Structure 1
Amino acid sequence: MSRDILVAGETLVDFLPASAGPLATVESFTRRPGGAPANVAVGLARLNRTPWFWTRVGADPFGDTLVETLADAGLPDRFVERDPTAKTTLAFVEHDVDADRAFTFYRENTADTRLQPGTVPDETLASVAWVAVGGVTLATDPARAATFDLVARAREQDATIVFDPNARPELWGDDFPAVVSRLLRDVDVLKATSTDLAAAGFDTDRDPESLATAVHETGPHTLLLTRGEQGAVASATAAAPWGPAMVSHDGYSVDPVDATGAGDAFTAGALAALADGDSLADTLAFANAVAAVTTTGAGAMTALPDRDAVQRFRANQ
């Protein structure tokens, strides 16, 4: 089957708390599949845009569960790797009373840190139009080198590069801004939050238009800036197929259960819409709807909606 999107990055297990508050006070957790790129890949599959997915998990029980989950979502297993000696990454999620979350990772020398350059062949990159990567694999080598290698070769094949920095301070030293800056030179579409951009060294106190201009100067022709309950803003230069444009969407009002994975749901929705040829304004509306529906269920991957659910949600707004 022909696929025009490749997603690359970590697949891990999220442990969701049974109650809000600091992890030290939580007595039980529910296990859910996660990892930002994995969420994006599954989200795309549920939106009828099944991609290739390159990831690496351990040859352990958690890895077994994740591989089965990806298969059940309809993702092809061609680039789903098993590491015979490394464990699968675990992340414990902490919720506050507003359903916002923080993460504690167990990721030292785990399988997803050991992605190897050159794994996805050039002929595959020549067959796809879009390549989406995240920031977590940039935190350590060899996964960092593998991500740079993938992006560089995809650029040579004229693929559109989509990047979500997904800043996780626990996983990084002081080199996050330098590493992100290096990758941005080859990025076409940057999806980020203000927190991501601040961590990458941008002055986020400026107005959205000025901030977008600063981002464009580093490489990306398109910025998708998500703002939580306030919706999202998008900016594109004349170099973008859908630009030049500066648009916003106020988002949708919902009663959130769990915000975990909402940003990944937005990315999946935006990528699906752009790949479908939608305008930037329509892309924001669709992506915000995908994210909003996701927050009404528990978990990241498990709450991702299909296209029918998104259409019903929008029809009722």
Structure 2
Amino acid sequence: MDFTEAGYSQDGRKLFEQNPGGAPANLLTVASHFGYRTSFIGKVGADMHGAFLKKTLEKESINTDAVIEDPAYFTTLAFVENDETGERKFSFARKPGADTQLRKEELDQTLISDCKIFHFGSLSLTDEPTEGATIKAAKMAKEAGALISYDPNYRPSLWKSKEIAVEKMRSVIELADVMKVSDEESILLTGAESYEDAADRLLAMGSKLLAVSLGEKGVLMATQNRKEIIKAFKTKAVDTTGAGDSFWGGVLCGILSLNKPIEKLEWEEIRKCAVLGNAVAGLCVQKRGGIPAIPSKEEVLALMQKSGC
């Protein structure tokens, strides 16, 4: 649950607004808005925040059969403070949070084996038992022929050290067919001096398609054979929460619509997927919060048409 900055009280104290979010859930909301069947796998607390998150997913037509409500742990909270540019600082209440307590034996094997795309991030790798459950689920999906999508989504305060974070985040790259990172994360994971060099190193670890997000500059799309920066849509950012998730959700929707193996995609098709992702993100940042800021398919297509895309 994100609590995002929302002005000040009459006494001058900051107000925080309850906004449902979480990186994989933000991404699934994009896919759901584009008409794809989606399911979320995870654990929340049996508390007001967990109930609200589950209800929010259901409202977005995201299947919650694999969402477990655990009375032994509290739903993780993230307090998000924005600076004047819309960039964020995080403070987490997660010691431990319910999301870190999903166990291997609680996974829905049928659901995982039947999906077309399995997406995961690194926040479920910070602690056991969820780390083991995440890796097992990704391997299970890969063996069943799903496209594996990975977003490291580095949050320093959730890791014991930067060194452990890098080791854990790098350890699963070999499972990923497609991967999204920020420019800072690409350098963190590789030790490269530039994100262009980092892209080459990450692709060498196994991914077939890589996106390096560059904020307002757009995104670097890269394969073994080609790289190109796809410019972002010009927009006024109010809150960048969910920007990367919504971008990557748009890219994955584009890939799904093509119904091709990732290695068979033409560069122009990859470019169009990135433009779609940029359009989703460009609209997302104009509103506060994660899931509540995700635009509709109609809004995205209207922006692209208006921009001549």
Normalising to structure 2: TM-score of the pair?
0.90
1:237-316 map, 5 Å:
237=224, 244-277=225-258, 279-316=269-306
Flag structure 1 segments of 5+ consecutive residues without an equivalent.
1-12, 238-243
Relative to structure 1, the CA distance from residue 207 to residue 120 in structure 2 (aligned partners, 3 Å threshold; closer, same or farther) is closer
User: 2 CA distance for matches of 1:67 and 1:52?
Assistant: 11
Structure 1 partner of 2:130: 143
Structure 1 partner of 2:117: 130
Contact 1:41 1:50 survives alignment (8 Å)? no
Structure 2 partner of 1:10: none
1:189 aligns with 2:189: no
Q: 1:121 offset after TM fit, Å?
A: 3.6
- AA partner of residue 227 (structure 1): L
**Equivalent in 165, 185, 209 of residue 176 of structure 1:** 165
Q: 1:18 offset after TM fit, Å?
A: 2.4
Structure 1 partner of 2:203: 216
1:86 aligns with 2:67: no
Q: 1:118 offset after TM fit, Å?
A: 4.0
Structure 2 partner of 1:40: 27
Which is further off, 296-305 or 269-278?
A: 269-278
Contact 1:15 1:32 survives alignment (8 Å)? yes
1:91-117 CA-partner distances (Å, limit 9, x unpaired): 100111011111111011211000111
Structure 2 partner of 1:199: 188
**Equivalent in 7, 14, 23 of residue 2 of structure 2:** 14
Structure 2 partner of 1:227: 214
User: 2 CA distance for matches of 1:226 and 1:288?
Assistant: 10
Q: Which structure is higher in helix share?
A: 2
1:104 aligns with 2:91: yes
Q: 1:19 offset after TM fit, Å?
A: 3.9
1:209-263 CA-partner distances (Å, limit 9, x unpaired): x3221111112111111100000011123xxxxxx44232111101111111111
Contact 1:100 1:259 survives alignment (8 Å)? yes
The runs of 4+ residues in structure 1 deviating greater than 4 Å are none
User: 1 CA distance for matches of 2:194 and 2:217?
Assistant: 17
- AA partner of residue 131 (structure 2): R
SS of residue paired to 2:175:
coil
**Equivalent in 52, 71, 83 of residue 65 of structure 1:** 52
CA RMSD of aligned residues (A): 1.6
SS of residue paired to 1:291:
helix
Normalising to structure 1: TM-score of the pair?
0.88
Q: 1:266 offset after TM fit, Å?
A: 0.6
Contact 2:187 2:195 survives alignment (8 Å)? no
User: 2 CA distance for matches of 1:263 and 1:207?
Assistant: 16
User: 1 CA distance for matches of 2:35 and 2:186?
Assistant: 30
Q: 1:120 offset after TM fit, Å?
A: 3.2
1:236 aligns with 2:223: yes
Flag structure 2 segments of 5+ consecutive residues without an equivalent.
259-264
User: 2 CA distance for matches of 1:297 and 1:40?
Assistant: 16
Contact 2:203 2:209 survives alignment (8 Å)? yes
Contact 1:167 1:195 survives alignment (8 Å)? no
Contact 1:118 1:150 survives alignment (8 Å)? no
User: 2 CA distance for matches of 1:126 and 1:259?
Assistant: 33
